């Protein structure tokens, strides 16, 4: 698959893919894999479970070259083992109903997050790494554990294309489950508005870091909910429950912004304490710029060590 195939997925922008093609997706910490590439490994050796072949690229360990295939076909193929991938990128996308909110200045939070997730999955597989997708919410979308082949990428993109935000969030349960389920060290990237109880959420994020995953958090926000500039009585509806409230915005604006800003600040500070990568993203930003900053800053952090 290449950038010209992206027209079949509305959330992939060929210009963004081309803009980011030269930027590697890297982990800040050692990953469990031994294929030559961008990422350090904490272990030597490999799994004994054969997975697939791939073509040789300069720098590969020649001990993994299949000499029999070379003798028969005059082509260079490397043996790939199940544990042998530089990076497993696990994308966790919140598909609860609150992510469907869209203000006046940008797409819905879900649409923006889907573009970020789909683009990162594409970039990971294009550079020879593995990508996987897990969804948060009531949808029955199957879990797609990380793999590195183009057919698996197509599965991820197809799942993203058909996914619709629905129901209450299950992010607390899902993150704890995945912290245990994702066995080997991975780059775990969470896309959510994090509309949930904060302290239990921080426990989930700490659980992921305790398992030695490189954790990145994309906090999706809409400009309207950040500024709360409403000038007449309105009915506010909870997208994840039947609850609604009619109120005069001017009467609650200060208290709302105090609580909202405290939530954002505490989440940001906790991520700093856990050594997680926190990214606040507003839906009127350019997706390409958001991802370019993310990739560039991570590359600089790795290069500085």
Name the helix (H) or strand (E) containing 173: helix 171-181
Distances, alpha carbon 259 to alpha carbons 197, 256, 287, in Å: 12, 5, 27
pLDDT > 50? residue 206 = yes
User: In 3-state terms, what secondary structure has residue 146?
Assistant: strand
Q: Which residue has the higher pLDDT, 161 or 38?
A: 161
Instruction: Decide: pTM greater than 0.85.
Output: no
CB neighbours of 46 closer than 8 A, spacing ≥ 6? 34, 81, 83, 84
Name the helix (H) or strand (E) containing 201: helix 198-210
Rounded distance, CA 160 to CA 53, Å?
Answer: 27
Q: How confident is the model at residue 236 (pLDDT cuts 50, 70, 90)?
A: low
- Cα 121 to its chain centre, rounded Å, is 8
Rounded distance, CA 190 to CA 95, Å?
Answer: 11
Q: What per-residue confidence (pLDDT) applies to 32?
A: 59
Residue with tokens 């799994």: 47
Q: What per-residue confidence (pLDDT) applies to 84?
A: 47
pLDDT tens-digit map of 47-71 = 455 566 778 778 777 778 888 888 8
Ordered structural domains, the chain, with CATH: 3-25+85-304 (3.40.50.410), 50-81 (no CATH)
35 by Cβ neighbours in 10 Å (0-12 / 13-18 / 19+) ranks as buried
pLDDT tens-digit map of 134-155 = 998 876 567 899 999 999 999 9
Angle at 125 between CA 120 and CA 127, to 5 degrees: 95
Distances, alpha carbon 128 to alpha carbons 56, 145, 173, 288, in Å: 12, 16, 31, 21
């Amino acid at each position: 698959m290449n950038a010209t195939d992206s027209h079949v997925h509305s959330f992939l922008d060929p210009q963004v893919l081309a803009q980011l093609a030269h930027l590697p997706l890297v982990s800040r910490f050692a990953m469990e894999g031994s294929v030559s590439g961008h990422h350090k490994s904490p272990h030597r050796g490999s799994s004994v479970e054969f997975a697939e072949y791939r073509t040789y690229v300069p720098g590969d360990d020649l001990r993994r070259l299949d000499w029999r295939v070379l003798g028969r076909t005059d082509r260079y193929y490397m043996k790939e083992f199940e544990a042998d991938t530089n990076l497993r990128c696990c994308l966790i996308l919140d598909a609860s109903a609150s992510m469907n909110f869209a203000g006046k200045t940008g797409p819905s939070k879900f649409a923006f997050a889907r573009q970020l997730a789909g683009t990162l999955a594409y970039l990971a597989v294009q550079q020879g790494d593995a990508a996987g997708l897990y969804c948060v919410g009531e949808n029955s979308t199957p879990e797609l554990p990380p793999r590195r082949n183009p057919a698996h990428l197509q599965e991820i993109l197809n799942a993203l294309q058909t996914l619709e935000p629905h129901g209450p969030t299950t992010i607390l349960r899902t993150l704890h489950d995945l912290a245990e389920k994702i066995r080997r060290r991975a780059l775990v990237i969470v896309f959510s508005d994090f509309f949930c109880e904060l302290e239990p959420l921080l426990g989930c994020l700490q659980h992921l870091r305790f398992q030695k995953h490189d954790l990145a958090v994309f906090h999706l926000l809409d400009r309207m909910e950040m500024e709360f500039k409403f000038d007449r009585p309105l009915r506010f509806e909870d997208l994840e429950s039947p609850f609604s409230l009619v109120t005069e915005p001017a009467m609650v604006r200060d208290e709302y912004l105090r609580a909202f800003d405290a939530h954002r600040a505490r989440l940001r500070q906790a991520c700093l304490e856990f050594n997680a990568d926190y990214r606040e993203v507003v839906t009127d930003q350019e997706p390409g710029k958001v991802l370019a900053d993310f990739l560039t800053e991570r590359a600089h952090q790795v290069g500085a060590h």
